[in-house]
Structure 1
Amino acid sequence: MTRVLVSGGTGQVGSFIVEELISRGHQVTVGGRTRPADGLFSKPVSFAPLPLDPNLDQVAAFGGIDHFIHAAFDHLPGKYRGGEGSDPDGFRVRNLDGSVRLFETAQKAGVKRCVFLSSRAVYGSQPDGAVLNEEIAPQPDTLYGSVKLAAEQALAAMARPDFVTSSLRITGVYGAARPELPHKWQTLFADYLAGRPVEPRRGTEVHGSDAARAMRLMLELQPDQVNGLAFNVSDLLLDRHDLLKLVQTVTGCVHPLPAPETGRARGVMDTARLRGLGWTPGGTELLKKTIRSLSPG
């Protein structure tokens, strides 16, 4: 049994990661600012205080830990891009300097593997219709994307045979790890079902359980398959028109659907690198199943 420390383990993506790991027999410690409520997860987890503060010595949190998954990120509620609010300097210190300090602490503590939860945002603006793969030069156009990329690069530079590192560039994560958690489309669904106008939009999506399986693979694959690398994690390019059409089918709602987006083509994330290691996402069937579970009525 391996012991895995997951920072941000109670967040939207972190919750999926924790559930995936404990379902596979890993012993999980959730790191963060506050202890998870009893019974929050399907099996017991430990807790270690782990704020994003580069000035703290947090080596005690890594005692006996085999692997570290860094999924914590400090931002304004509900915002990633623009999540710095009026404090860009503090945002960078916490999320870049604080992350790098945790990577360094993990390495010094003898942690064997470290995985960073990065983002599609590292690619920033790319030409219309571009296919985004891990070989193209990132061009982050937000502070969020710049911080994620800098943390990725810092971790990759630390890769060693005895400290295996990787980063997952995850796109929009949908689904709810637990029934009481709000999901990313909650407001969108409510607006549509209430007959309020919905702006056209198209975006790349992946189910949280698929993202969590990708994270687990980073801990289980041979070191030379992942060490120092970044991996795209994405599944569907989804238009709100098509998404809400599924909601319409499930609920019988008669409100008109938004028009398909006709603006700038959003780049598709190429996941060949990750798929080549055995990762297969749930596709449209998992999307339909999730819509049935999330839609009221």
Structure 2
Amino acid sequence: MRCLVLGGNGFIGTHLVRALKLAGVRPRVLDRAGSLRGEEQSGVEYLFGDFSDPSIVAEALIDVDVVAHLVSTTVPGSASADPISDISGNLIGSVKFLEQMRLSGVRRIVYLSSGGTVYGNTEEESLHEESATNPISSYGTVKLAVEKYLGVYGSQYGVRATILRVSNPYGPNSRHIGLQGVIPTFFSRLIEKQPIRIWGTGENIRDYIYISDLSNAILKAIEQDKPGVYNVGSGIGISIKEIIDIVSEVSSIRPEIEFLPDRPFDVKRVVLDVSKFSKTFDWAPTVELHEGCRMYWHWLNGPG
């Protein structure tokens, strides 16, 4: 099996490519930039260019069995600051890519959506795949729109899409420090001896997943052709304040806290019900949050 990984040099992509190789799946990477640590993995094909460019995409899709779409040209903050760029880069870019898939005869795709933003604010303790989707940010709205276009290409052209609504990943090689990713940003601020900034009161609740658990989940979705929409996360909610306590415990550093105003695009509570994915793909998260933070802190302070 050959898998084209869009965004294969990013945080999630590098871990997924490594997992694909170990599983005997042949990975091909299409990315706009080089690898995060300046290294290319052996046995991997690398192509460089934009995933919405028909010429490079046509080449990238040759002899491909399944696509893993990990690309996002924005994070929630930058998407809200410039929604037109978010729409152009992510929605239009993804539809262009789907059209090229249709022309190339590739009919399987695993798409990473956002479990943290597509549902919006809700009173539900735990969100399942049939929960209402009312995103309050451009980022979540565009992710949901891509999901809908995957449905269009499924009904009209037979594209089989496995949509993974992923919670907040963290772990080695985390990207977007300061822009996205509470855990990597907090640890980074500690290393830089800077105060930790909290938007709002710190009561917002999120679901966090360690990168090895996430890459294993994506691998299973690639290996097993089971289209549908699935939540992927830890299934456990924890507040920003509790994250600070864990970060402090793991690092043995009590950080200075700086509170900033609420951001209007931040959802108050997101905890994912992951039972559907767990049962369908025989998967479960294995890395508990404290342990994941310890491993990440050790990596941050290790050689290289």
TM-score tier after normalising by the smaller chain length? 0.7 to 0.9
2:262 is matched with: none
User: Does the CA-based 8 Å contact 2:66-2:109 persist in structure 1?
Assistant: yes
The alpha carbon displacement at 1:91 in A equals 2.3
User: Does the CA-based 8 Å contact 1:54-1:94 persist in structure 2?
Assistant: no
The alpha carbon displacement at 1:116 in A equals 0.9
The alpha carbon displacement at 1:33 in A equals 1.9
Indicate the SS of the match to 1:146. helix
Gaps of 5+ in 1: none
1:187 is matched with: 185
The range that moved more, 229-238 or 153-162, is: 153-162
1:28 is matched with: 27
Match of 2:98 among 79, 99, 103: 103
1:83 is matched with: 78
2:285 is matched with: 281
For 2:242 and 2:296, how far apart are their aligned partners in 1? 12
2:206 is matched with: 203
1:173 is matched with: 169
Report Cα offsets for 1:4-31 as digits up to 9, x if no partner: 1111111122222222112212111111
Matched, 1:219 2:217: no
1:10 is matched with: 9
Report Cα offsets for 1:46-100 as digits up to 9, x if no partner: 122341437767322211111111111112xxxx113236542232122111101
Report Cα offsets for 1:240-280 as digits up to 9, x if no partner: 44434444444433568999xxxx96232110110112111
Report Cα offsets for 1:103-159 as digits up to 9, x if no partner: 2212331224211111021111212x4321101121011111111001011112323
For 2:132 and 2:231, how far apart are their aligned partners in 1? 14
1:243 is matched with: 243
The alpha carbon displacement at 1:218 in A equals 1.4
The alpha carbon displacement at 1:282 in A equals 1.7
Matched, 1:143 2:146: no
Matched, 1:269 2:265: no
Indicate the SS of the match to 1:60. helix
User: Does the CA-based 8 Å contact 1:251-1:296 persist in structure 2?
Assistant: no
For 1:108 and 1:99, how far apart are their aligned partners in 2? 14
The range that moved more, 9-18 or 36-45, is: 36-45
Q: Amino acid of the residue matched to residue 139 of structure 2? A: Y
The sequence identity of aligned pairs, in percent, is 24
User: Does the CA-based 8 Å contact 1:174-1:208 persist in structure 2?
Assistant: yes
TM-score, normalised to structure 1's length? 0.81
Indicate the SS of the match to 1:159. helix
User: Does the CA-based 8 Å contact 2:108-2:161 persist in structure 1?
Assistant: yes
The alpha carbon displacement at 1:216 in A equals 1.2
Distance 1:275 1:113, change over 3 A: same
1:290 is matched with: 295
Distance 1:57 1:22, change over 3 A: closer
Distance 1:245 1:164, change over 3 A: same
Equivalent runs, 1:117-132 vs 2, <5 Å: 117-120=112-115, 121-127=117-123, 129-132=124-127
For 2:13 and 2:100, how far apart are their aligned partners in 1? 20
The alpha carbon displacement at 1:281 in A equals 0.5
The range that moved more, 188-197 or 265-274, is: 188-197
